[in-house]
Structure 1
Amino acid sequence: MTQPKDVQPIRDQQQLEDMKWALKRHCSERDYILFVVGCETGLRVGDLLKLTTKQILDLKGKQNKILRVKEGKTQKIRDMYIANCFQEVYDYAKNVQSPYLFPSRKGERPITPTQAYRQLNKAAEFAGVEHVGNHTLRKTFGYWFYKATKDIAMLQRILHHSHPSVTLRYIGITEEETNNVLKTFSVFH
């Protein structure tokens, strides 16, 4: 199964809710939590799949719910504040019978990126959401972070991009904003 090249962020709140519903109803709690953590942190799927149950369970008594992750692609250490979704993730992690937060059904390993892709697309089909892939979670984080803050420099640092234009293109802002301006633009009014 090849991933589509036109993977997009989820730009609509209702579609985000529809994806959450579809993941709960038609996939599994594991896949739902993967989606939530991915959208809340902006981590790449490959890095999400390396998370352990211990990392989550160890945060229970701590005031700041900060996950420290070494990103696979950049090898940079990233601290992620996960208080917004901590209780839900913690409740899930308490019941996971594996060292990995997102275990495969076949054993003690995490699911593969291919399996994550299949589950996300299965949910997307039920939810009526198009252009979904593994990068959708990270792009969705970036899109909503930018919409809330308009701070492209900070988002660029969070995503470890080389230039603001890379970040804008990655989250689909440039094309969207250009199209919105062109819809109402006229030289003669």
Structure 2
Amino acid sequence: METVDALRDLEQINSLKDHLKKQSYRDYLLFVFGINTGLKISELLLIKVKELFNTEGEMKDFYSYAEMESERRKSVFLNKKVKEAVKSYLDHVNIEEQIYLFQSRKFKQPITRQQAYRIIHDAAIKVGIEGKIGTNSLAKTFGFHAFKQGVSIALLQKHFNHSTPSETLKFIGINKVEIIATQIDVNL
């Protein structure tokens, strides 16, 4: 499998979002959900709509899931952008027929990993993004921007289930000579 890059440029991220939103609300949601949670594509595709809502029908703040490798329960925060994208998408589909969040238009199954790759990769080409972009770029983009905003490499290491901080730095595309200025403002 070929290594892909994180999307570092916010303008590129926004142009990709705009393109995907015009193409399909589901595809837009896939991108937004991925870059805001850092979930692997295999974990994203298994999300069921009902898992995002509580018994009162309100969207949860955290999505909990069982890790594929270990079966341990983990949770990811659903920020405002994710919640807005989910709501927007569900407003455009027949909610009674939606089992999976990223459901195929033909079957009541999630889209395949290959289809998800085509969606992200083709959109990146269409908006003129150079570099290797694929489904793993979503998690890498999340990690890169979280690190850039001051999230510790130890937290990201735990989030991605990496065994060393250097593995996580390599995954998000930070090399030893690259220095990223982070702004940590406790504002006491």
Aligned twin of 2:159: 158
Unpaired segments of 5 or more residues in structure 1? 181-189
Aligned twin of 2:84: 87
8 Å contact 2:5–2:173 — kept in the other structure? Answer: yes
Aligned twin of 1:16: 13
8 Å contact 2:121–2:133 — kept in the other structure? Answer: yes
**Backbone CA RMSD of aligned residues:** 2.0
Partners of 2:66 and 2:132 lie apart in 1 by 28
Aligned twin of 1:185: none
Letter in 1 for 2:105: R
Equivalent positions of 1:28-177 (< 5 A) are 28-58=24-54, 60-61=57-58, 65-84=61-80, 85-94=82-91, 95=93, 96=95, 97-129=97-129, 130-174=131-175, 177=178
- Structure 1 22/158 Cα, relative in aligned 2: closer, same or farther at 3 Å? same
Q: Which has the higher helix share?
A: 1
**Identity in percent:** 35
Q: Tell me which structure has the larger Cα radius of gyration.
A: 1
Question: Displacement, 1:150?
Answer: 4.7
Aligned twin of 1:186: none
TM-score by length of 2: 0.84
Question: Displacement, 1:58?
Answer: 3.1
Partners of 1:53 and 1:176 lie apart in 2 by 43
Partners of 2:29 and 2:61 lie apart in 1 by 16
8 Å contact 1:169–1:175 — kept in the other structure? Answer: no
Letter in 2 for 1:165: S
Aligned residues: 174
Partners of 1:53 and 1:18 lie apart in 2 by 27
Aligned twin of 1:187: none
TM-score by length of 1: 0.84
Question: Displacement, 1:175?
Answer: 6.2
